[in-house]
Amino acid sequence: MSTLDSLTLTRIPAQDEALRAEVRAFLAEATRDIPAHIRARSWSGYSTEFSRRLAAKGWLGVTLPQEYGGGGRSAFTRYVLVEEFLNFGAPVGSHWIADRQSAPLILKFGTEAQKQFYIPRVCRGEAFFCIGMSEPNSGSDLASVKTRATPNDQGFVLNGQKIWTTNAHHCQYMIALVRTSGTPEDRHKGLSQVIVDLSLPGVTVRPIEDLSGDSHFCEVFFDNVQLGADALIGAEGQGWEQVTAELAFERSGPERLYSSIVLFDQWLQYVRTPEGRTDSARQLAGKVLTQLAPLRAMSVSVQEKLTQGASPIVEAALVKELGTTLEQMIPAAIAEDLFSRDAEDVPVELLQTLKYVTEASPSFSLRGGTRDILRGMIARGLGLR
């Protein structure tokens, strides 16, 4: 029994839930030989081969229209897929952003030519995207972006820099938030989103090594990069509204609850053994599950709002804030439990997984919006500021 089996406060529609058994059977075989400390990377794990296996089963772009190569199924079908990918620690990082954000964004705001070109490639696992939002010296102040796309007779000339760009060194494309008019002091005005082919002359991508020794993040430099007129996605100057709506997809999903789930499941397996079972461990397991179950219910509720076409920005921020707090609590609490025991009684593989998740956990409350930013959004939504 996995942790997910205990989280049934909110049920997903039966026709979508029916897919779960097939997905579990596939993932059990596909991840069987991957050690837990590697599976703990999950949506940071990168495997184009694995993404294309999922595409062959029709599990990429599952919510996108069939006319563009998608599955034409509901958002809850994708929710089931994502939950199980995370639950098994599947290496889904290569297609993660394209499937979650980029293709839906292009479907909503793109031209027909952009839809015809990019979306089928995403659904086949052939086109991977990164997101160009953060910039140096801006902290979490997204509206202060300085990277500029200046219109010319061929389209736009792009200059500037992005940072903390996940998997840019593996992706073919970036959707970047840039300034197409005005100055950084104009804040939300004059911002647009452009699709950047990362193979163009003038683009330089430099991976950044993190505490764990992985290189998920990158710096991306643009030096007089010539973009075509068809690089603009949506309306010029409407980038802030577009990117704000896009972030609701990023902040409310299961990945904001389950970043520590492989570690938690592995620890639970140990606690179920005679050597691992203690009263304090059982109390800790209950404490985690009683927080995780209502958070999942909230996440599913936000998914319902997204399905209805709403833009639940504050609700999504609340799920991410509470979710990442729990994600960070799990490795700290498990470390306290394991380090209170005799070292020879604890499985080495469990300690390796704990090491990785502990090193990665500070980033949980940074990616997709920092804790301070999200709390500000929640306070504003409640009329407190």
Q: Are 288 and 190 within one domain? A: no
Over residues 124-142, mean pLDDT: 87
Q: Is residue 335 part of a domain?
A: yes
Q: Which two tokens stand for residue 77?
A: 């079908």
Decide if pLDDT at 249 tops 90. no
Which helix (H) or strand (E) segment holds residue 317: the answer is helix 313-338
Query: For the domain that residue 325 is a member of, what is the CATH number?
Result: 1.20.140.10
Q: Tokens 């599955």 map to which residue? A: 71
Same domain, 171 and 123: no
Check which CATH number belongs to the domain holding 50 and give it: 1.10.540.10
Evaluate whether residue 2 is within a structural domain: no
Confidence label for 9 from pLDDT (cuts 50, 70 and 90): low
Question: Considering the chain, what percentage of its residues have pLDDT values greater than 70?
Answer: 96
Closest CA to 143 of 152, 134, 151, 153: 134
Check: CB of residue 232 under 8 Å from CB of residue 239.
no
- The share of the chain scoring above pLDDT 90, in percent, equals 64
Q: Which among 106, 127, 148 is the end of a domain?
A: 127
The two beta strands, 129-132 and 173-179, are: parallel
- First-to-last C-alpha distance (Å) of the chain: 45
Whether 320 has a pLDDT exceeding 70, the answer reads: yes
Instruction: Looking at the structure, tell me whether residues 24 and 122 fall in a common domain.
Output: yes
Question: Is 67 in the same domain as 138?
Answer: no
**Separation of alpha carbons 92 and 90, rounded Å:** 6
Look at residues 96, 111, 127 and tell me which one is the last residue of a structural domain. 127
- Supply the range of the domain harboring residue 334: 251-382
Is residue 243 domain-resident? no
* Three-state DSSP class for residue 197: strand
- The answer to whether residues 270 and 376 belong to one domain is yes
Of 207, 237, 267, the one marking the end of a domain is 237
pLDDT higher than threshold 60 for residue 6: no
Residues 134 and 121 in one domain: no
Count CB neighbours of 354 within 10 A: 26
List the structure tokens of 149. 């796309």
Is residue 9, in this structure, part of any structural domain at all?
no
Pairing between strand 232-233 and 173-179? unpaired
Per the domain annotation, does 5 fall within a domain?
Answer: no
270 lies in a domain? yes
**Amino acid present at 102:** S
| 106 and 139 in a common domain | no
Contact 100, 128 (CB under 8 A): no
- For the chain, how long is the longest CA-to-CA vector? 73
pLDDT value for 112? 97
- Using alpha carbons, select from 132, 134, 49, 133 the residue that is nearest to residue 95: 49
From residue 67, alpha-carbon distances to 57, 95, 339 in Å are 17, 20, 55
Q: How many Å apart are CA 205 and CA 176, to the nearest integer?
A: 14
DSSP E strands in 209-286: the ranges are 217-228, 232-233
Q: How many CB atoms lie within 10 A of CB 366?
A: 14
Mean pLDDT of the region 122-137? 93
In a domain, 198, yes or no: yes
- Residue 127, both tokens: 């086109």
**Of how many residues is the chain composed?**
385
Indicate whether 114 and 141 sit together in one domain. no
CA pair distance 7, 326, nearest whole angstrom: 15
Is residue 355's pLDDT more than 60?
yes
What is the rounded CA–CA span in Å between residue 216 and residue 223?
23
DSSP 102-124: IHHHHHHHS-HHHHHHHHHHHHT
User: Global pTM?
Assistant: 0.88
**Structural domains of the chain, count:** 3
Token pair in block for residue 186: 């104009």
The Cα 373–Cα 366 span in angstroms is 10
337 and 317: one domain? yes
Q: Which amino acid is at 151?
A: P
Q: Are residues 123 and 134 in the same domain?
A: no
Is there a single domain that holds both residue 279 and residue 376?
Answer: yes
Regarding whether 258 and 377 lie in a shared domain, the answer is: yes
Q: Which of 4, 92, 90, 24 is nearest to 268 (CA)?
A: 4
Which pLDDT tens digit goes with each residue over 90-108? Answer: 999 999 999 999 999 999 9
Query: Which CATH number do you get for residue 207?
Result: 2.40.110.10
pLDDT at position 69: 96
Residue 255 has pLDDT above 80, yes or no: no
In a domain, 330, yes or no: yes
